[in-house]
Structure 1
Amino acid sequence: MSIISIIIPCYNQAQYLDECLQSVWDQTYTDWECIIVNDGSLDHTDEIVKKWLTKDVRFQYLKKENEGVSAARNSGIEKSTGEWILPLDGDDKIGSRYLELASKEFHNNIDIIYSTGQYFGEKNTIFASEPFDYQAFLMENQIFCTAFFKKSDWKKTGGYDPEMKGGYEDWEFWIHLSAYKNPLRVKHLTEVGFFYRIKPASRNVDAMQKNDASLRDYIYRKHPKVFYRNLNSLKEYYHENQKLKRENQHLKNLVNSKRNIVMNRILKIFGK
């Protein structure tokens, strides 16, 4: 039994999978297992995985019919033995010290651990570098999918929602978790631990942009207690942003105008 179970769902990502699995194998922290979930791929994923299964017994393989990333993650987590779970998409990678740094927080009464991120590929910039802010998180996801959480908490939520096939499935999972955890205890690591590949057509980016409103409405209506519980603080957060924009013209570019649209939608749904 390992402390950390890394879950890698992959669908037609064979060309990137070696790089992803190499980043797992390079970890300075060694008490892990890695479950690769082939979600009905039509490429040569089998060939890539076979050599890693031979290379290290900590790698495991699960093949299933294509049902989407949420179902694939759930299948891998169900099979896992670790206390802590780390999802990782098959076209991304992690820094060599990510597991080591996160493991130092495992006994600090934390629910979610994530790091600063960095894009690579078609783009090369830092993201998710700001401290976690729960009110901002309820309006825009601040935690990428490759973050640590306890398997016991995954069981409480029932796992990732298989109905969310158009994106935001990780955000919905974090929000669902916050329904059980009040407050949600999140640790943000300042070191870059996660590398998100930007391709000409990255997974779900176009779909999320196209279906942003419907995906958000689904999340809001699925978790009304979370948003009702935080409605007053969200309104205060919204009005403070508006005030800053009025008081300082230079902040107009720093305050995301999309949050105004999001907040108006939340208020419309909950009739406040």
Structure 2
Amino acid sequence: MSKPDQRPRKLGIAAGGGVLPLKLAEAARAEGRDVFIVGIKGAAGSSIEAWPHGWVRVGAMGRFLRLFKEAGCEDIVFIGPMMRPRLRDIVPDFQGALLLPGFIKRLKAGDDALLRGVVEFLERNGLTIVPAESILTSLLASEGLVTRLAPDAAHEADIDIGIRAALALGAQDIGQGAVVRDGRIIALEDVKGTDAMLARVAAEHPGDPVGRSGVLVKLPKPAQDRRVDLPTIGSRTVERAAAAGLAGIAIEAGGAIIADREELAARANKLGLFVVAFPPSRVEALA
């Protein structure tokens, strides 16, 4: 009698920008999975072309599904940053046109509503959405300090304010981050993302060039599907926070992805910033 097929399920990666789609592909291959990457045009980089891949424009939902199905993918991961599309940038195919009225409604509601629509469409068509950290376990932030420096009492007070601000922002499905300095909210993330928010802080609230102050706080939105679009930080986030004069970055343990932990820690230590992951219980206490 032949043994049942123990072949690992083929992984499809819906790729936004940055290095995470490639890191995930490498981790999946290391555990014996075949991988197929679908790059979102305007977000994913050309480096995905080193892997079996296809490209899809925003709105081409029929092609998006077909690429994964024809490649034999069973599990799908969404990973890598992608800007919320403008309505004028959505160029639907036939399937996308059928879905467009509902997607426009979701687009107006916010990022999470739009992503839920995409996830529901794929799941209705037989694909399984899995979180990135189920494959690349080192991605998920664990509780505690990532860096040598730690927040002081003033920073901890700013973190609490930032948690409340990020929760309120996330409840409106607008963004996941806030910047707080000396007890005052000085920036909230919008559809342009964290990098744009930190650039605004650097331009409008640069802080003391000698003594750093202020904290970037990032949290998942209260109602978001945590399989997709968890807050992500990497070395570039640290560099932009430093350019804005901030003292550190605070994220929720188990609720954020660290793109390149060792590199991030080394960069933050060199620039004199702290990075800390606080427990979910802290969020629950402040909600």
Q: TM-score, length-normalised on structure 2?
A: 0.26
Higher relative contact order (CA 8 A, sep 6+): 1
